[in-house]
Amino acid sequence: MSKTAFVTGATAGIGLATVRRLVADGWRCVATGRRQERLDALVAELGPDKVHTACFDVRDTAALDAALANLPEVFRDLDLLVNNAGLAQGLSAAQNADLANWQTMIDTNVTAMVTVTRKLLPQLIERKGAIIAIGSVAGNYIYPGGNVYAGSKAFVNHFTLALRADLHGTGVRVTSIEPGMVETEFTLVRTGSQQASDDLYRGMNPMTAADIADTIGWIAALPPHLNINRIELMPVNQDFAGFRVAREG
């Protein structure tokens, strides 16, 4: 029997690749995102029997409630939540940062993520399902200009592990995936510059959205007695060494 996944942020990058991978593996998917034309293209590509879409901003709790209430019968029994929706805005040092950018990151990466999770938990517990969250190495290794983005991803990483503790004995599997550099629209959204995105990834052979989706697909297919608690991935050309010294004189 086919299982059903709920994937947030499915109009681009890791979310889009995840829907494609899960459908290829025999799943049905509820794909959410803010861009209707991209959701329509996903249905046209994969078929309305495999993908149901819901166009809304994940920060809009009323829209989330409406989307869940209006799921077609065949998509109602959810077995997997992929908490993928998230973003970064700005690269300024904290003392120069735009407070509105900080609020957007908190509202999206933290508040919306926990809201979606809490609303789906009863069903996931009932069906002994799974939760996979897309955190980041930025939640583990700090870099200049990361400030609130890094803090929000540290929250994602640790909230997901905390869920694992709270869901002890329920049969629900919980995983925190913490990627390094993945070439998607992430940097374009963050900076508003395609050139900045191209410059960042040029010549370093970054991971792709499909690489992370393959990891999600592997975890989702594991037997129900096996849990991957957390997994950290980086391209070979990226590492976590980066101590700096500011010298006087």
CA-wise closest residue to 149 among 199, 111, 114, 104 = 104
Q: Taking a C-beta distance cutoff of 8 angstroms, is the pair 89, 190 a contact?
A: yes
Yes or no: domain 4-233 corresponds to CATH 1.10.3720.10: no
Q: How far is it, in rounded angstroms, from Cα 21 to Cα 53?
A: 16
How far, in Å, CA of 205 to CA of 111, rounded? 33
Please, are residues 137 and 155 in contact by the beta-carbon 8 Å criterion? no
| CA distances in angstroms from 123 to 2, 31, 89, 168, 190, listed in the order given | 16, 17, 33, 16, 34
- Report pLDDT digits (tens) over 75-98: 999 999 999 999 999 999 999 999
Query: In the structure encoding, which two tokens stand for residue 119, read together?
Result: 């609303």
Kindly state the tokens that stand for 56: 């809304």
Query: Residue 191's pLDDT is what?
Result: 85
CA separation for the pair 66, 57 (Å, rounded): 12
Catalytic option among 141, 143, 149, 201: 149
Q: Which residues of the chain have pLDDT under 70?
A: 1
Catalytic residue list contains 149 = yes
Residue 5 CA from chain centroid, whole number: 13
Q: Which residues make Cβ contacts (< 8 Å) with residue 96, sequence separation at least 6?
A: none
- Structure confidence at residue 1 (pLDDT): 65
pLDDT tens string 30-50:
999 999 999 999 999 999 999
The domain locations on the chain are: 4-233
pLDDT (0 to 100) of residue 83: 98
